[in-house]
Amino acid sequence: MSIVKRLLLVLFVLLSCVACDQSTKMYAEANLPKAQALSLLSDTVRLQVAHNEGAFLSLGASAPQPWRVAIFRAGVAAMLLALLAYTLLAKSSQGLFVFALALILSGGSSNLIDRFVNEGYVVDFINLGAGSLRTGIFNVADIAIVVGAFLLSVQSWRGRHSKA
- Which pLDDT tens digits describe the chain residue by residue (164 residues)? 888 999 999 999 999 999 999 999 999 999 998 888 999 999 999 999 999 988 877 778 888 888 888 888 999 999 999 999 999 998 877 889 999 999 999 999 999 999 999 988 999 999 999 988 999 999 999 999 999 999 999 988 877 666 65
Q: Write phi, then psi, for 50 (nearest 5 degrees).
A: -135, 140
Number of Cβ within a 10 Å radius of residue 18: 20
Of the residues 21, 43, 114, 142, only one is catalytic, namely 142
Count CB atoms within 10 A of the CB of residue 56: 12
DSSP state of 142: H
Reply yes or no on whether 21 is catalytic.
no
Catalytic residue among 21, 43, 114, 124: 124
Domain boundaries, given as residue ranges, for the chain: 3-163
Angle between helices 140-163 and 3-31 in degrees, nearest 10:
140
Cα(46)–Cα(37) distance, integer angstroms: 6
Catalytic residue list contains 43? no
- How many CA atoms, within 13 angstroms, populate the side-chain half-sphere of residue 80? 22
**E-assigned strand segments in 54-143:** 122-130, 133-134
This model's pTM is above 0.85: yes
